[in-house]
Amino acid sequence: MIVPRDQLLRDVRGVDALYLALPVQVDAELLDAAGIQAVHGGQWGKTWESSLYLCGKDICNSVVGIVGLGRIGLGVAKRLRAFGISRLLYCGRASKPHAAEVNGEYVSFDELLKMSDFVIACCSITPENHHLFNADAFGKMKKSAIFINASRGILVDQDALYVALASGKILAAGLDVTTPEPLPPDHRLLTLPTALYTHTWLALLLRPGTLWRTCLLAMHWPV
């Protein structure tokens, strides 16, 4: 099923990005309907260099820090090898024998924050790590760092994250989880262009008949 053109033009109004899972004609009419900032700001498509902002920050040759090298953290680390990172740091309650599989270097939490270009939270929840990522933690990160939470929302002090992003203490954040889920429409984190929200699709994909609906939804999922 292809979404009718007139419906697509209505549905994309006001979004900041387009993710197209099916063949769709992307032209001035569609982009104008979406009101994408890069189009109105004159950044889109004038030269190759002016479009490189779409690529984001390159993970190749970067230092990646994983907080919690358990089953999920190890899975992330294994997949990162294909992107040519320069170092993989990890922290936790103790060093992990399986870290050797990914050339992981065991460091303290503070060292990981200070040295990493990308900080990825994959740790489990304990009473001790509630709001582990707070103002103090964000203050120790590089200003060019990107923070990614793939664990649980309560690991993050979201007010502190907002301040860190809005003030430029860190570059950007990718959040697969929040507290609550979803965030209320008026939450101030939603006003920041440097915060990206994703959806944990696995729960949907495990339910029969939902894959196709997921693909249709992703055609114009607002990021």
Average pLDDT of 78-95? 95
Same domain, 46 and 117: no
Q: Give the residue with greater pLDDT, 114 vs 39.
A: 114
Residue 21 domain-assigned (yes or no): yes
What are the respective helix, strand and coil percentages of the chain, to the nearest 5? Answer: 40, 15, 45
Specify whether 27 is located in the same domain as 72: no
Residue 17 pLDDT > 60: yes
Instruction: Indicate if 12 and 105 belong to the same structural domain.
Output: no
Segment 132-156, tens digit of pLDDT: 999 999 999 999 999 999 999 999 9
Beta strands in the chain (DSSP E): 63-67, 87-91, 104-106, 118-121, 146-149, 172-175, 195-197
Spatial contact of 113 and 135, defined as CB atoms under 8 Å apart = no
Residue 181 lies in a domain: yes
Q: Which residue has the tokens 């103090």?
A: 136
Looking at the structure, tell me whether residues 27 and 67 fall in a common domain.
Answer: no
Q: Do 89 and 113 lie in a common domain?
A: yes
Least confident of 27-41, 65-79, 166-180, 203-217: 203-217
Q: Which of 5, 1, 57, 47 is nearest to 26 (CA)?
A: 5
Tens of pLDDT along 197-209? Answer: 876 544 444 444 4
- DSSP reduced 3-state for 12: coil
Domain span holding position 91:
63-192
220, part of any domain: no
pLDDT score of 161 more than 50? yes
What are the residues facing 172 on neighbouring strands? 146
- Can you tell me the mean pLDDT for 9-35? 72
Q: Determine whether 2 is exposed, middle or buried from the number of CB atoms within 10 Å of its CB (0-12, 13-18, 19+).
A: exposed
Q: What is the dihedral of CA 80, 81, 82, 86, to 10 degrees?
A: 100
Residue bearing tokens 């999920």 = 72
CA atoms within 13 A on the CB side of 131: 8
The pLDDT tens digits for 169-188 are 999 999 989 999 888 889 99
Q: In whole angstroms, what is the distance from residue 160 CA to residue 163 CA?
A: 5
Is a pLDDT exceeding 70 seen at residue 1?
no
Planar angle of CA 207, 209, 211, nearest 5 degrees: 85
User: Is 142 or 190 the better-scoring residue by pLDDT?
Assistant: 142
Phi, psi of 177 (to 5 degrees): -140, 150
Q: Is residue 185 part of a domain?
A: yes
The verdict on residue 83 lying in a domain is yes
Characterize the bridge pairing of strands 87-91 and 172-175: unpaired
Task: Report, as an integer, the average pLDDT of 51-56.
Answer: 61
Domain count, the chain: 2
Q: Which residues does 183 contact at the CB level (< 8 Å), separation at least 6?
A: 189, 190, 197
Mean pLDDT across 45-72: 79
CA angle 21-179-205, nearest 5°?
Answer: 35
Residue 133 DSSP label: B
CATH number, domain containing residue 178? 3.40.50.720
Judgement on whether residues 42 and 94 belong to the same structural domain of the protein = no
Name the amino acid, one letter, at 155: L
**Do the domain assignments include residue 50?**
yes
